[in-house]
Amino acid sequence: MARLRSKGATMDLVRRHNITARKKFGQNFLTDDSVLDKIVEAAGVCDKDHVIEIGPGPGALTERLAEHAGFVTAIEIDPQMIPALEEILGDKDNVRVICADVLKTDMGAIAEKIPDKDLKVVANLPYYITTPIVTGLLESGIRYKSITVMVQTEVAARMQTGPGSKDYGALSLAVQYYSKPEIVTDVPPEAFIPRPGVGSSVIRLDLYDKPPVSVSDEALMFRIIKASFMQRRKTLQNALKNNPDVRIPAEKTSAALQQMGADPMIRGEALTLEQFAQFTDLIKG
């Protein structure tokens, strides 16, 4: 029987366990019942799924995930949350709670625990470490079926945008190389306790079986991408020749761009994912 089906019930649990939202963990507890249900629905959670939840907090989303998924692994960095999670999830035998930092957790080992399930990630992410969490999941090589997360609205927009936008960057290209992103819904600050100072959005990333572009050296491409956006106002030539991770001579960059039919003085922010792949192959070759 569900126990956290209202803001009042969640806050009562928080008070009984003397839980306080900690800024160092970026904690904002989602208490809006309709948004919680929408996240589970957007992720398409069913009994064939093994769901990994990052940052469950007091467990409002975790409880709903456990009702629909075959198995749930919840990773929580904050020890003060564990007693509340144990209370809410105590009668469920398809949930495991791990008290750990997700950025230091062996996700592959978790995935191997239940190999007969589709692996999905569902989370209300701490906004200050959204990018390293998402890029880490995408680049891990683990075959996640989808990643459905709550993030800051401007970060969700960045994941979807293309060349020419001020929000376009390395995160955009990483997300679009590995997955098809779709913003599911926007969430107002009043859906959280305490209220964040920014808007939030739920975005679903459906991971590709095969990336939409082919490249001879994936690692080199992403080093080039990161270098090209570290100093956005510089031309690609200048950004790459001075970056210690790539150090590509300006004349080599210019020659590759001309071979592509691109302006030798172009900035990295004007290149598409396909063009970055093409450029990488020319540099590699």
- Residues 39-77: tens digit of each pLDDT: 999 999 999 999 999 999 899 999 999 999 999 999 999
Query: Is 212 part of a structural domain of the chain?
Result: no
Dihedrals φ, ψ of 32, to 5°?
Answer: -80, 115
Instruction: Look at residue 1 and tell me whether its pLDDT is greater than 50.
Output: no
167 and 261 within one domain: no
Can you tell me whether residue 128 is helix, strand or coil?
Answer: helix
* Sole residue written with tokens 């592959």: 108
pLDDT on residue 94 = 96
Phi first, then psi: what are they for 207, rounded to 5°? -75, 140
Q: pLDDT tens digits, residue range 222-248?
A: 999 999 999 888 999 999 998 999 999
Residue 213 lies in a domain: no
* Of 112, 109, 102, nearest in space to 76 by CA: 102
Single-letter amino acid code for the residue at 172: S
State the residue for tokens 């990161």: 226
Does residue 115 have a cis peptide bond before it, meaning omega lies within 30 degrees of 0?
no
pLDDT digits (tens, 9 = 90+) for 159-181: 999 998 999 999 999 999 999 99
Kindly report the average pLDDT of the chain as a whole number. Answer: 92
Check which CATH number belongs to the domain holding 127 and give it: 3.40.50.150
Domain count, the chain: 2
Q: Are residues 129 and 265 in the same domain?
A: no
Is 1 a member of any domain?
A: no
Helix (H, G, I), strand (E, B) or coil at 150: strand
| Residue 173 and residue 48 in one domain | yes
The per-residue DSSP string of 5-42 comes to -SHHHHHHHHHHTT----GGGT--EE--HHHHHHHHHH
Residue 53, H or E segment = strand 49-54
Give Cβ neighbours of residue 51 (< 8 Å, ≥ 6 apart). 43, 45, 65, 69, 71, 72, 73, 120, 121, 122
pLDDT at 4: 61
Residues 47 and 181 in one domain: yes
Looking at 207, 242, 265, the residue that finishes a domain is 207
Residues 85 and 114 in one domain: yes
Mark whether 118 and 255 lie in a shared domain: no
Are residue 29 and residue 134 in the same domain, yes or no?
Answer: yes
> Does residue 179 lie in a domain region?
yes
Binned at pLDDT 50, 70 and 90, residue 8 comes out as: confident
Measured between alpha carbons, how far is 91 from 104 in angstroms, rounded to an integer?
29
In terms of domains, do 200 and 250 share one? Answer: no
Same domain, 154 and 271: no
Q: pLDDT tens digit string along 79-112?
A: 998 998 998 888 899 999 999 999 999 999 998 8
What are the φ/ψ torsions at residue 58 (nearest 5 degrees)? -80, -5
pLDDT, residue 2, reads: 47
Residue 43 pLDDT:
97
Q: Kindly state the percentage of the chain with pLDDT values over 70.
A: 98
Using one digit for the tens of pLDDT, what is the confidence trace for 69-86? 999 999 999 999 899 899
Domain presence at residue 245: yes
213: left (phi over 0), alpha (psi -120 to 50) or beta: beta
CATH (domain of 229) = 1.10.8.100
Alpha helices in the chain (DSSP H): 7-16, 33-43, 60-68, 82-89, 107-113, 130-139, 153-160, 170-178, 218-230, 236-241, 250-260, 273-284
Residue 2 lies in a domain: no
Residues 171 and 247 in one domain: no
Residue 198 lies in a domain: yes
CA pair distance 54, 147, nearest whole angstrom: 11
**Of the segments 3-12, 83-92, 188-197, 207-216, which one has the largest average pLDDT value?**
207-216
Average pLDDT over residues 142-148: 96
Distance CA 82, CA 40 (A): 22
Contact between 65 and 75 under an 8 Å Cβ cutoff? The reply is no
Instruction: Identify whether residues 181 and 143 lie together within a single domain.
Output: yes
Q: Examine the fold and report which residue of 152, 185, 207 is the final residue of a domain before the chain moves on.
A: 207
The Cβ of residue 17 has, within 10 Å, a number of other Cβ atoms equal to: 16
Same domain, 173 and 231: no
Count the alpha carbons within 13 Å of 92 in the hemisphere toward its beta carbon.
26
| pTM, 2 dp | 0.91
Domain closes at, from 185, 207, 229: 207
Q: Is residue 21 in some structural domain?
A: yes
CA separation, residue 127 to residues 19, 74, 154, 155, 187 (Å):
20, 18, 11, 9, 14
Residue 3 has a pLDDT of 62
DSSP string across 156-175: HHHHH--TTSTT-SHHHHHH
Residues spanned by the domain of 249: 218-284
125 vs 53: CA distance, rounded Å:
9
